[in-house]
Amino acid sequence: MKSLLIPSLLAGCAILFSSTALAAEFSLPAPGSNMVGQLQVVVARHQDTLLDIARHYDVGYNEIRAANPGVDPWLPGAGTRVLVPTQYILPPKPWTGIIINVPERRLFYFPPGQNVVYTYPVGIFRPKWPNPLGSTRIIAKVKSPTWTVPKNIQEEHAKVGEPIPAFFPAGPDNPMGELALETGWSQIFIHGTNKPWGVGMRVSHGCFH
């Protein structure tokens, strides 16, 4: 399993996340098991998309699509039964800190001294962009982050006719969202997003959304 392991967290990390995203919370499984949660089936309303359902149940885009082959992601249709894959295989032990399963595009947080796990879907890096793997630490927590856009990202957007500012102040238009955790890797964060529909996709330039 390709993963990012962040074994040591600053105090209050779970609270920082919870102000912007509702994680799925589970008690840790009994010895000998590595699975939590259970599958669910919901009936789509006429106004629902698969992304609406995925976001409501803290499931990523790739997860909801893989669980429902043949279902139109934009118009499932009223009465369509949608499988929601809210059963998860936990990463290998030790269960401590933050572990991101990159292929699954899912983050697991094991708070110290508690018999629970929190899990969130995450957007990951685009092809040909840095793919951080290994272990690091959370070195800072940032509320209302700003973003100075690296030159290579500015150039990428300019080439496709979508120029972006060189600097984003804190606020609803900031691609880093409302909260960010800075890792020990240069310019790699776990952060919010102003485009929540991209969670579960390959949308970033190295960070985890």
Q: Domain spans of the chain?
A: 3-38+86-204
How far apart are alpha carbons 157 and 81 in whole angstroms? 39
- Clarify whether 191 is annotated catalytic: yes
In this prediction, residue 114 carries a pLDDT of: 94
Q: Is 207 part of the annotated catalytic residue set? A: yes
Pick the CATH number of 3-38+86-204 from 3.40.640.10, 2.40.440.10, 3.30.450.20, 3.40.190.10: 2.40.440.10
Q: What is the mean pLDDT of each run of 10 residues along the chain (209 residues)?
A: 43 33 84 95 95 91 93 95 96 94 92 94 82 87 92 86 90 92 91 85 83
pLDDT of the residue at 130: 67
Burial label, 151 (beta-carbon count in 10 A; 0-12, 13-18, 19+):
exposed
With contact defined as beta carbons under 8 Å apart, do 176 and 191 qualify?
A: yes
The single residue of 13, 157, 205, 207 carrying the catalytic annotation is 207
Residue of 157, 191, 205, 209 with catalytic role: 191
